[in-house]
Structure 1
Amino acid sequence: MALAPYACDPALSRGRRYAEAPAPTRTDFQRDRDRIVHSTAFRRLVYKTQVFLNHEGDLFRTRLTHSLEVAQLGRSIARALRLNEDLVETIALAHDLGHTPFGHAGQDALNACMAPFGGFEHNLQSLRVVDHLEERYPQFDGLNLGFEAREGILKHCSRANAELLEADEPLYADGRGGVGRRFLERTQPSLEAQLCNLADEIAYNAHDIDDGVRSGLITLEQLQEVPLFERFRQQALAAHARLEDPASARRLLYETIRLMLSNQVYDVIACTQQALDEARPDSVDAVRGLGPLVAFGSEMREGTQVLKSFLLRKLYRHSQVEETMDLARQIVRELFDAYSQAPQEMQAGFAARTVTGQGLEGAHAHFGMRTVADYIAGMTDRFAAREHERLTGRRLLV
């Protein structure tokens, strides 16, 4: 299928930070995807969790399964809109590489620890992973991904961080600056990047419903209060009378989620295509100069906002989840304190980066603390818990 004129074309990629000869059998976007799949950071995602921590059950979503679901949804939408599926998959698989152990609780704790040293944000850390922290190639640090993949990975960025990124970017052949430039100029990323942002939202809303019910923290009865969910639950019951049987509750949940996912995908396709027809961009550059184009329609957007509010109140702020997340935050804080005071306790490669006459004080503090944050952010849930027990003698997560 031919790409739309506003889709990213690998033959017209803005290139890599370090020039490389093209691969003989793959496009640049396919090559980027393969590099991500083979990376250490990608493998770690299997033991990094979403809402429920790694020790709480085998069937709850992990960052890895979430990334695969985002990629599947993203490719489906991209195909219908004639966008570049390979680039969408690449961004989807890489977007959570910088996530800490213990989900957002870990990120919040690490951000607080790093507040005097520039803070911590998982999205920026994902870019840091692919640009610097992966160690696979003799010619360069990181994965040396193309501009378009890196642009999509960087979903959010403060002006201060964008300025720092731009100062570190190579001068691309077209002279238009790097991945931080759009945050300074207030322009948009590619449609493929915009699509991954929305596919991420669609995926986590759906699987958090599934995991929440599986955990017993929310029920089908409670979900009937959510108009978007109830609409598709009623459709499932109307089409399959057998789902009225309480013994079929799990099938009813799955069918409701399936219908909700499908309709969200169709809604995004229809509304985005309408926006494209009205704006009529004829190139990727034209897309960047417009407002956001990949979006839900107003009714679906309102429905998803109500669903997100429900999940926030009933699941993410559930007392049982909060209790576990408080322990997770404590683990991250105490790991940060321990490594800051004794950087030699980190693995050798990270410990070596902090070795100077000043230790982690004075002018070296910012770099040293960033190294500590890199080390903690790369941990899986279970490794962080084991390290905390080794360093403190206390087991917080049982």
Structure 2
Amino acid sequence: MLQPYACHPEASRGRLFPEALSTFRSPFQRDRDRIIHSSAFRRLKHKTQVFVEHEGDYYRTRMTHTIEVAQVARTIAATLGLNTDLAEAVALAHDLGHPPFGHTGEDALAVLMRDYGGFDHNAQALRIVTRLERHYADFDGLNLTWETLEGIAKHNGPVDPPWSYALAEVNAMWDLELTTHASAEAQVAAVADDCAYNHHDLHDGLRAGLFTDADLCELPVIGACYAEVDRRYPGLDPMRRRHEALRRVFGTMVEDVIAVAQNRLRALEPRSVDEIRHMDGPIIRFSKPLYQNLKAIKAFLFERMYRAPSVIIERRRVTAMVQALFPLFLDHPDLLPEDWQGDVAQALAAGAPRTELARVVLDYVAGMTDRFCIQEYYRLISPEDPAV
């Protein structure tokens, strides 16, 4: 049973290109399915979540992260009487625009695109689902519903201008009301993202040897979870102890979000999704005490994992690769694959060819997987790693 403040599929604002309704699936279910079957989603399998020095099959990729976010989003949305299909669709799409090497690649491309309209992965995800996926006979992109596009654009909150060119371009086609909050379902996807990476980055950092279980026991929330496991299961095998403790950390975050949302929804009694959009803050969020504790955990991860010496070395190496490939393609667009040459020709015929060409190169480079980017660097630039 959907609550009045949920996004009801029969009340969807529809698609940019009208389509007949499906016999078996709601509009939001079709959005979810189109995202899962997209080329961009498959590429997430080989895109970095967080760089660690060691490589192994157990570290999260951008795809496994996305699946975890979608699972948490469905749980929270179902508990709150929201549309689980929409929450899942936004969760599955939220990282489609990430370039190779995660936030490291994003930072490098943002600098390279500074004079050509900027870059951020949320806007690039919109560009992918509205333009770059080219499989359907009647339209470019996936022709997602307005509600899913809105969720991709502003699941992290209102987006004030100036907007990147990619975001402005989509918004010009279809007003996404960027300066308001997103639906509660999209807000759920954003908080589920926080829950997922706060949990799995701890797992991956431990596996990489960047810190120890004893280090984590000094942190708020996490220390209490380890202590509870030790009380209930004295002498437990270390790996089981770790798993039991960290799944309790995960549960603490999810339960906190649900409790806060239930209290706020009871107090504010929103009667429609538009009331959710026009509130003075998000309806889905952590409690203030837990938020402060999570800041301490994030500060620990930033110092011990995201800025660990081994990770910094790898970040410099892959940044140099992106910085070398982008200008090479910009100066020699003939190096782009044959199926990109139509976009190149359109860019060169435009009124600002250098800018338009840079955007084509960005689409190509941002779509690369980690390993393909590295292969192209070795093939086109140097068989040796860059000096950093």
Structure 2 equivalent of residue 224 of structure 1: 217
> Would the aligned equivalents of 1:53 and 1:102 in 2 still touch at CA under 8 Å?
no
Question: What's 2:336 paired with?
Answer: 346
Equivalent residue pairs, number: 380
2:254 paired residue number: 265
The question of 1:323 aligning with 2:316 is answered: no
Residue 192 (structure 2) aligns with: 199
Instruction: Name the residue aligned to 1:168.
Output: 172
| Contact 1:54-1:381 within 8 A present in 2 as well | no
1:88 matched to which residue of 2? 87
What CA distance in whole angstroms lies between the structure 2 residues aligned with 1:142 and 1:63?
21
- Which amino acid in 1 is paired with 2:285? A
Shift of residue 365 of structure 1? 1.2
- Residues 372-398 of structure 1: per-residue CA shift (max 9 Å, x gap): 00001100000000001110123329x
Task: Determine which of 199, 224, 234 is the counterpart of 2:227.
Answer: 234
Q: CA deviation at 1:210?
A: 0.3
| Structure 1 residues 55 and 303, CA gap change in structure 2 (3 angstroms) | closer
- Partner residue of 1:213? 206
Distance, in Å, in 1 between the alignment partners of 2:171 and 2:287 is 38
Q: Following the alignment from structure 1 to structure 2, what is the Cα–Cα distance between the partners of residues 140 and 117?
A: 26
Residue 334 of structure 1: aligned partner: 324
- Uncovered stretches (5+) of structure 2, i.e. residues with no partner: none
Q: Is the 8 A contact 1:47 1:54 kept in 2?
A: no
Structure-2 change in CA distance of 1:64 and 1:106 (3 Å): same
Q: Distance in 2 between matches of 1:160 and 1:281?
A: 30
Tell me by how many angstroms 1:37 deviates: 0.6
Does 2:119 correspond to 1:120? yes
Which secondary structure state, in structure 2, belongs to the residue aligned with residue 199 of structure 1?
A: helix
Equivalent residue letter for 1:274: N
Greater mean alpha carbon deviation, residues 156-165 or residues 20-29: 156-165
Q: Distance in 1 between matches of 2:292 and 2:135?
A: 44
- Where does structure 1 differ by over 4 angstroms across 4 or more consecutive aligned residues? 356-360
Question: Offset at 1:70?
Answer: 0.3
Counterpart residue type for residue 320 of structure 1: S
Q: CA deviation at 1:182?
A: 3.0
Instruction: Give the structure 2 partner of residue 134 of structure 1.
Output: 133
Q: Which amino acid aligns with 2:12?
A: S
Residues 297 and 221 (structure 1 numbering): CA distance in 2 closer, same or farther, change over 3 Å? same
Cα distance between partner residues in 2 of 1:358 and 1:5: 50
Distance of 2:305 and 2:106 partners within structure 1: 18
Residues 236, 252 of structure 1: 8 Å contact kept = yes
**1-side partners of 2:53 and 2:138: how far apart?**
36
Cα offsets for 1:153-193 (capped at 9, x unmatched): 113544122782466224xxxxxxx21x232xxx2110001
Distance in 2, Cα, partners of 1:357 & 1:253: 53
Once the two structures are TM-superposed, the CA of residue 53 in structure 1 deviates from its matched residue by 6.4
Q: Does 1:378 align with 2:367?
A: yes
The alignment yields a C-alpha RMSD, in angstroms, of: 1.8
- The residue aligned with 2:238 is 249
1:29 aligns with 2:12: no
